[in-house]
Amino acid sequence: MAIRRLPETVTHRIAAGEVIERPASVVKELLENSLDAGASRVTVRIVQGGTLSIVVEDDGAGILPEELPLAVERFATSKLFDIDDLERITTLGFRGEALSSIASVSRFEVRSRPASKTEGAFIRVEGGQFIGSGTIETPKGTRVQVDDLFFNLPARRKFLKSSSAEQRRILKVVQEMAIVFPAVSFLFVADGKSVFRWEGGTRREILQAVLGESRLRETRYEKGPVIVEAWRGTARPGQRTEVLSFVNGRRVTEPTIRSALFALGPEIAGDWVILVDCPPADVDVNIHPAKAEVRFRNSGTVFEAVHGAAKAALAFGAELVLEKPQPSEGFSSEGGGLNLPWPRVAAPTEAEVGRLVEYPAGDFPGSAPKTAAVRFLGHVSEGFLVFSEGNDLVLVDPHAAHERILYDRLREAMKNRFPSQRLGMKTELSPSLAAGAEEHRFRLLELGFGFEQKHGLVPSLTAVPFFPGLESVSPEDLLRSTIAALDENPEQPLDIRLARRWASAACHGAMKLGDRVGSEEALALWHQLFETEGPRTCPHGRPTFLRLGGSAIKRHFGRKG
Ligand SMILES: Nc1ncnc2c1ncn2[C@@H]1O[C@H](COP(=O)(O)OP(=O)(O)OP(=O)(O)O)[C@@H](O)[C@H]1O
Ligand SMILES: [Mg+2]
């Protein structure tokens, strides 16, 4: 048979099949683009498991109208200039292939408007053929619509599973993105029903939501330039071991990570989420068409870092056993060898704290004499603050503590009234935020929000409630968290729901674990925390501190008295 050159439309469609395997791959690529564009809110809507329609909308940077045709062209990207850039890649996309691949196997439209433009633009492509383009009124950001996926690749269409199976895969993709970018809000709507809604929060919160776990243990481990964050959930005893691994924000399957974990033996049973962060130059991300695999330059270091993190997380698990108050004998040294999960204590010594783990119920500072002298000793490597109070050693999570303090202050301030503050600059609302604002309009006005709506346009925000402590929260975030509170279970009083949401919004921007605070600040935090009504937990129920009682310390070292 004669050898012929295939027409480009055919080669392109064949190549597209490698990148776009099913509806979930479309959603993955579109979400990656939205996150690369710095979106803070992303909505995914699908019909019939994504086979009929997929719409992904974001409030990110947008695409300039004149660049729109390039965005859907093959090998056109804003993320890579020359081959060396591959060594420095910090975006999720880099090949300039995704949109053109999707457009070659579907009926496809992109609408986009960067903030700098008053008018947006659209482009339509069907099966790789240009259909039309023009200007369009559209909110800031990008909206991509993909209809009739694989309409021109019938063989591939046949391989798709049922709508519900495809939908489950898409849900997984959305949730995995939310795990990597917990601060971003995600909404996933399937056939008109909201399936997954994440209003933004911390990694712990998203993992609790996705894994249905309240007892998650987190450890971080650094080995040279490699940082590993490992989370372990053990809510389902006897279950299989499930591992979700991410490398530099990408969900990947990578044998090193799994083998480092499995090398620890059957003890590891449970859900694991492992996030590896390493210099871009040390990973090759360009080895799989859907970017689902990576290769490490120095897999030994990665192995050790994952191994170390997982080992520490296992030690954490053992500690959990002692969470129930023990008989007065306290700590038993049998089966010892536990290492505390925080690898270094910055002060006062480098000494191993060893197996010292106990939570006797009466040992919480809520009940401790306030007269005992408190000293700030330093930070452990993950940013927890270390204090001594009398003979006790106390670790404080500054983030949770700060959230508790702010929550109590807000509750107190709300007893009076809801003062309103006019915004110097009006803020135009995104469509989803505008919809929420519309739904709760009257309550929001009562709470001190102000809106202005010109005929036919999206409303703008003109005023927000004003409380000390909320200065760092953007007007949109304040509105978003208020709507979330209004949407919440009405069994709880509104001021509690509001204070909780607002305190977490304010704490996102404020002090985080890992920030270095000075001694004065640390002591102020301590005193403010223990003046609150519920110093033991943050408003979401996470512990604010861990106390290692002086008597338990003595017992551990076999000292008398
Ligand atoms: N949601 C979006 N917001 C802003 N710009 C976007 C968005 N989606 C695509 N773009 C622009 O279009 C270009 C092409 O996107 P496409 O996904 O095809 O390629 P890529 O992301 O650069 O690489 P990859 O093929 O690895 O995903 C991007 O480089 C980006 O400039
Ligand atoms: Mg992309």
pLDDT digits (tens, 9 = 90+) for 466-511: 888 888 788 899 999 999 999 887 777 888 899 999 998 888 766 5
Tell me the ligand closest to 76's alpha carbon: 1
Q: What's residue 370's pLDDT?
A: 45
**Structure-block tokens of residue 561:** 């008295």
Ligand 1 pocket mutation, candidates 12, 29, 56, 77, criterion most atoms within 8 A of CB: 77
**Beta carbons within 8 Å of 14's beta carbon, 6+ residues apart:** 6
E strand or H helix at 17: helix 8-19
**340 vs 311, 357, 371, CA distance in Å?**
10, 8, 29
Least confident of 121-130, 225-234, 366-375: 366-375
Q: 420-466+473-509: what CATH class?
A: alpha beta
Lowest mean pLDDT segment, chosen from 68-82, 213-227, 357-371, 432-446: 357-371
Q: How far apart are CA 207 and CA 230, in angstroms?
A: 12
pLDDT of residue 506: 85
Ligand 1, atom nearest to 142 Cα: 1
For the 203-321 domain, the top CATH level (class) is alpha beta
Evaluate whether 142 touches 34 at the Cβ level (below 8 Å): yes
CA-closest residue to ligand 1 atom 19? 96
The residue among 285, 231, 550, 192 whose CA lies nearest residue 392 is 550
Which of 439 and 55 is assigned the larger pLDDT?
Answer: 55
Q: Which of 10-14, 79-83, 112-116, 345-349 has the highest mean pLDDT?
A: 112-116
**What's the pLDDT score for residue 392?**
84
Lowest mean pLDDT: which of 2-6, 101-105, 192-196?
Answer: 2-6
Beta-bridged to residue 222, according to DSSP, are 227
Class of domain 8-198: alpha beta
How confident is the model over 512-535, as pLDDT tens digits? 555 677 888 888 889 889 888 878
Residue 54: what pLDDT?
A: 97
Nearest residue to 142 (alpha-carbon basis) of 53, 48, 41, 70? 41
**C-alpha 37 to ligand 1 mean position (Å):** 8
- Around ion ligand 2, residues with a beta carbon closer than 5 Å are 33, 93, 98
Confidence class for position 50, pLDDT limits 50, 70, 90: very high
* CA distances (Å), origin 309, targets 202, 217, 305, 447: 20, 11, 6, 45
Answer whether 29 contacts ligand 1 (Cβ < 6 A): yes
SS (H, E, C) 478-533: HHHHHHHHHHCCCCCCHHHHHHHHHHHHHHHHCCCCCCCCCHHHHHHHHHHHHHCC
CA-wise closest residue to 117 among 135, 133, 100: 135
* 395 token code pair: 């670790």
Among 193-207, 286-300, 479-493, the least confident range: 286-300
| CA of 32, nearest ligand number | 2
Residue with the bigger pLDDT between 122 and 522: it is: 122
Q: Could you state, in order of their start, the residue ranges of all structural domains in the chain? A: 8-198, 203-321, 420-466+473-509
Residue 480 CA to ligand 1 centre (angstroms) = 27
Lowest mean pLDDT among 93-97, 297-301, 317-321, 378-382: 317-321
